[in-house]
Every structure is written in structure tokens, then in C-alpha cells.
A and B are shown apart, each in its own frame.
Chain A
């Protein structure tokens, strides 16, 4: 302590008082790093000069594990990557293996998959929106979001028995057919859910303080977003009209009428935190529309287990399949050597790639903005670290 004071006195006396940068360790136990992310911040006062993200605190060797598993056994492991979007993870993996095997799944299975994936997208966005609000200091919208997410989880639980990690979308089919009254439950949910969006909009998204906190903050220009490989709401928030559900159609998304929500810089600059946030808000409504249309043409009957292979040993070969996860492009690169276990399964995780841009867009911002930026990227550490 006294040495510090001496240094200070000397500096003042000699007229050469210098300021220095400060290294602050944010995480892995920090309230707003959304898990166990660790950021080393180099700060000049409160201004961020440089960020060095350190990852791996939640590394569970997913890819290596997958090599020791049979194909169906990998599905529960995919759940555990992006644990807020387990259905979408299952879906991507199932598609990859199915394409390698050359399986066509029944119509009803496709419909159920799409409905489940979109419900999961809403659930995941609800968490993203709620926690983003919490990052900028509003706690109440978070709980309103979680309340509605519970309704979705209830539907999932009734269908497949699990609330978070479903192991539901299997290679070639589903683990269970939907429960009785599924259509009614989903329609009910959408009816209950729409007012919440308005409420959260009024309580949080159009609040002046919230706009001030998020507009013009963490601006991600479209070219930077593309060159870093950002995807999902992160990319669309920057005004790039790109959604795999439309641009690389899989499953039956091409049958529905829905819009790709793109950021427009309404409150600030194109590609700021508010844009990313509002893309998520808008996507929830689009998901509702997809679900409603899917429910209208939902095939009344069909055997969901019809296409499930008895034995899965894909021919030698490799495939890259990508789906639109709530956080962006989730890709599975699968190599098969003809045996019952994948030879190699590489995952391209959207959170991981999106996170890489944080240093670029946070420089020169305050710590408070960094928290907002991190919240708007919406990472799930389970998938960043895998």
C-alpha cells in the first residue's frame, strides 16, 4: 500500500504521472458470463481495450465420446451441447445420419420434428431475451419469459417424458409419438404466449433505458459478421438475410409461409445489440406462424417408427449437415467407416463461432456494454466448450 502511495507521490512530483491498463478477470464464476466462460479484460479505466476469452471449463469431449458410441447412443450426447435447444441438436444429428443412410422419414415425423424444433426455438429465445434483460439489470421480464418457457417444457414432457434433454428426435424417427391432445396443447400455448411478447416488448424492449443501453452498442457490421462466420440472429441482426431454414431447406420448412427477420437498426445503428435482440423477439412470432401452419396440415395418423433402422451402419462416407439452431448454424460433419460407431463427428457450434467476434465488437466500450454485448450474443457454454 505504501509503495503504491510512494509511486504515486513520485509520479506527481516528477510531473510524469502515468496511467496504466488494468487486467480484470471476468469469470468463470461471474453472474453474467452465462456459465463458465472466462474473459480476461484489459481495461483502461472502465473502457475495454482487449478481451481474451478462455474456454474449456465445460469441456466434456463430446466429439471423442461420439466415436465410442453407436449412432443412436450419440443422440443423448447431442442434447447436452446446446442444452437450451436440445431438440434442434437432435434434429441436426438425425438429419446427418439419415442423409448418410439415405432414409426418408414419414410425413408425420417431419411435421412433429418441425413443430418441436420451432417450440424449442421459442423456448431458447425466451431464455436469451430474459437473460439479456437481466444482464442490463431488469429482472422481472426474465421471469415472465421463464414462465412461458415452462409451458413449452410441459408439452415436451408430456410427449417424451423429459423437460430439458429429450433424446426425442431419433435417427429415422422419434422416440415417441406425440401425446393425445398435443395439437390442442400447442395451440393453447401459442394463444397464451402471444400476449407475453407484447408485454415483454412494453416492459423491456421499448423501454427507453433499455434502448439507451443496447442501441449503438456492440455494432457488428455485416462484413465483419460474415468474415467471422457468425450465424443465426447474430448475423441477421447485422442485416444479412440468411436463414438455413429458407436458404438450405431441410425437413419441410419450404412448405410454410414465414419471414426471415432481419435487423433494421430501428433504434440505433444496424447490427447493434438491440437489433440482435429484436431479431429474436421477431423470430418467436415467426416460429408461432410456422407452428400454426404445421398444425393445420398435421397428418392425423402415421407410424413414427416406420423408418427407424433396426441396425445403423452407414456406408463408408462423409457428410456435412447443417440446421438452423436458435443460435445459428449448427453443423455436423460425420465420417462413417461403415461400422456401428461414427468414425469422426465434428460439430460446428454456433455459440462458439459467434463468441469469437466479441473482442472485435467490444473494444472501446464500457464494462457495462461488454455485459450487454455478451448477453446479445446469447452463448450457451455447453456448446461453446462441448
Chain B
């Protein structure tokens, strides 16, 4: 019986305590704000929309390879010997025309993995967070500064050079290739049989804060943790090497498709190809 009255007493008493708390909160200042009119201060390091400063981009493809969702697509064309592309503000010599630099921001997960590897610090995240669009294709940001015609021309030039070189050196190339293949096969066999291969861990000697836009001293600073298959500096000898090796599509297709139409056609083609070539992406 006393338990019965105790329950009733507790029920009323605790309800009143609760009501006292909510009553006090009636007069507490609101913690929410009127969003579009007032906005929170954006911290300095905030991760929102990506931006690429194309003046500094050397087309090295590091950012595209670091991206876990493959939302960066870069195409490059080798410049002709007589063309001077100048230098980046960090002192890197530009050797490639960046004919295509698309970021599908709708796919981006804002992980910022693409920022640290960039040797010239030209890709970075901005504080802009309001960039919704009605059309999904408008979320594919095209940073390449070349006009479609120009890009086609540069690609063609590079192609021509490549053809010429290829024809000239066909014979010796053939020779070299065979030699290289033999050597590689031998090495592979050797690797497989040797469990005490050198430790794969190398520590980054120097890592500048990604927020400071200071020049990086060496061109190897950007290379963290790459799959060994194609990510070497020496790779851009062929014009198609800018492609992420994982995309798996025909390099010719990648090169020619974007240049034969208006911007909207390009965006459609880009979206389709992205979808088809990367089934694993969400």
C-alpha cells in the first residue's frame, strides 16, 4: 500500500520537476539560427565544394587516383616541343595540356583524399556549401580551360607526334619491348619466389600541411600510397597515360568522345561513360 502512494507521489513529483525544467527553457535563448539569413561561421578547414586552379595544374592525375569514388576524370595531351606551357606558381614545369578535367561533385564524398597528393596544391576545398542544381549534369564541374576546338587540336597534335615517333622508332621499340618483357618476366618469377622482399613501408619524409598553400619542395611529395600499377612519374610518356588505370575503358574512346559536340553532349557522354565504366561506384 505504501508503495502505491509512493508511486503516485513520485509520478506527480517527477512530472513537476520535468515541467519546471521545460518552463525554464521557455526563457532560454534559442540555439538555432535563421539559416538563409544568418549563417554559422565557416571554420577555416571546412570541406565543401572542390576547386581546381587550372593555372597550376600539371595534369599529373594524382588527385584522380587518390579519389575513392572515382569522381575526377582527367585527360591530357602531350605538348609539342615548340609549345611552351610555362610554369606553375610552385615552379613545376607544365608539360601536358589538360584537355579535360571534370569533377562529378554529385559523387564526391568530401573526403579530401584528393587534396594532399597534388604536387602543386592546385586542387583544394572551398567553403562554398550551397551549390545544389536542378539538373544532375550541372554538378559535373568542368575545369579544363581549353576550348573544345583547342583541346581537339592539342589532342590531335599529340597524337600525330606520337604516331610519327612511333613510326620512326618502330623497329628499335619492338626490340626494346621484347627485351623489357623478358626481363620483367624473369623479375616476376624472382619476386614470387622470394618471401623476404624489402619492406614496402616507406615513411613520408616531409609532409606540408595541406592548408598552407606553400610550394612543395619536391615533386615526389604528392605521391602517397598509390597502387604500383601505373602511378609513376615516368608514365606520362604516352598521351593516354593520364587515365586512371582502374577505369578500364578504351583510351581512344576517352580522348575522342568529349571533343565532337557541344558542352551538353559532352556532359551526357561523360556521365554515361562514368556509369558504365565503374559499376562498383555508388
Residues in A lying within 8 Å of B, measured CB to CB: 60-61, 64-65, 68-77, 79-80, 101-103, 140, 147, 150, 157-162, 165, 167, 175-177, 179, 199, 202-204, 206-209, 305-315, 338-341
A182 to B7, CA, bound (A): 47
Question: Contacts A202-B17, A311-B224, A311-B226 given: A176-B200 contact, CB under 8 Å?
Answer: no
* CB pair A150 B31 closer than 8 Å: yes
Which of B72-80, B107-115, B150-158, B167-175 sits within the interface?
B107-115
Alpha-carbon distance A167/B108, docked complex (angstroms)? 13
Inter-chain contact A208/B47, CB cutoff 8 Å: no
B250 CB-CB contact with A under 8 Å: no
> Do the beta carbons of A307 and B280 come within 8 Å of each other?
no
Taking each of A69, A75, A162, which has the highest tally of chain B beta carbons within 10 Å of its own beta carbon?
A162
Interface mask (B202-213 → A, CB under 8 Å = 1, otherwise 0)? 111001011100
11 A-B pairs (CB sep. < 8 Å) = A75-B111, A77-B68, A80-B109, A101-B201, A160-B45, A162-B110, A165-B109, A175-B112, A199-B21, A206-B17, A315-B200
Write out, one digit per residue, whether chain B residues 1-23 have a CB within 8 A of any chain A CB (1) or not (0): 00000010011011101100110
Q: Say whether, besides A76-B109, A167-B113, A206 and B14 are in contact (CB < 8 Å).
A: yes
Cα of A75 to Cα of B69 in the assembled complex, Å: 12
Contact B201 A161 (CB under 8 A): no
A354 to B204, CA, bound (A): 41
A309, B203: Cβ atoms closer than 8 Å: yes
* Identity of the chain B residue whose Cβ is nearest the Cβ of A207 in the assembled complex: B14
The 7 closest A-B pairs by CB, nearest first: A313-B200, A161-B47, A73-B68, A76-B111, A161-B45, A305-B207, A208-B11
- Count of A-B residue pairs with CB < 8 Å: 133
Are the CB atoms of A309 and B113 closer together than 8 Å? no
Contacts of A158 in B (CB 8 A): 43-45
**Is B223 an interface residue, CB under 8 A from the partner?**
yes
Bound Cα distance A369, B138 (Å): 48
Chain B's interface size range is 35 or more
A68 and B225 within 8 A (CB): no
B-chain residues with CB within 8 Å of residue A176 when the two chains form the complex: 45, 209-211
Kindly provide the distance from the CB of B20 to the nearest chain A CB, expressed in whole angstroms. Answer: 8
Residues of chain A lying within 8 A (CB to CB) of residue B282? 60
Q: Is A73 in contact with B11, judged by CB distance below 8 angstroms?
A: no
Closest A residue, CB atoms, query B208: A305
Q: How far is the CB of A49 from chain B (nearest CB, A)?
A: 30
Residue numbers in B under 8 Å from A64 (CB-CB): 280
Nearest Cβ in chain B — how far from A154, in angstroms? 8
A308 lies within 8 A of B18 (CB):
no
* Contact across chains for B203 and A315 when beta carbons are under 8 A apart: no
Taking the closest CB of chain B, its distance from the CB of A207, in whole angstroms, is: 5
B217 at the interface (CB under 8 A from A): no
Chain A residue with Cβ nearest B110:
A162
On whether the beta carbons of B200 and A311 are closer than 8 Å, the reply is yes
Are A310 and B68 in contact, with the CB atoms below 8 A? no
What string of 1s and 0s marks CB contacts (under 8 Å) between B58-73 and chain A?
0000000011100000
Known interface pairs A159-B45, A306-B203. Does A72 touch B113 (Cβ–Cβ under 8 Å)? Answer: yes
B77 to chain A minimum Cβ distance, whole angstroms, is: 27
Q: How far is the CA of A68 from the CA of B246 in the complex (A)?
A: 9
Give the residue name and chain of the A residue nearest to B31 (CB). A147
CB nearest neighbor in A for B21: A203
| Residue B46 is within 8 A (CB to CB) of chain A in the complex | yes
A70 and B15 in contact, given A157-B43, A161-B125 (Cβ under 8 angstroms): no
Residue from B46, B200, B224, B227 in contact with A341 in the complex, judged by beta carbons closer than 8 Å: B227
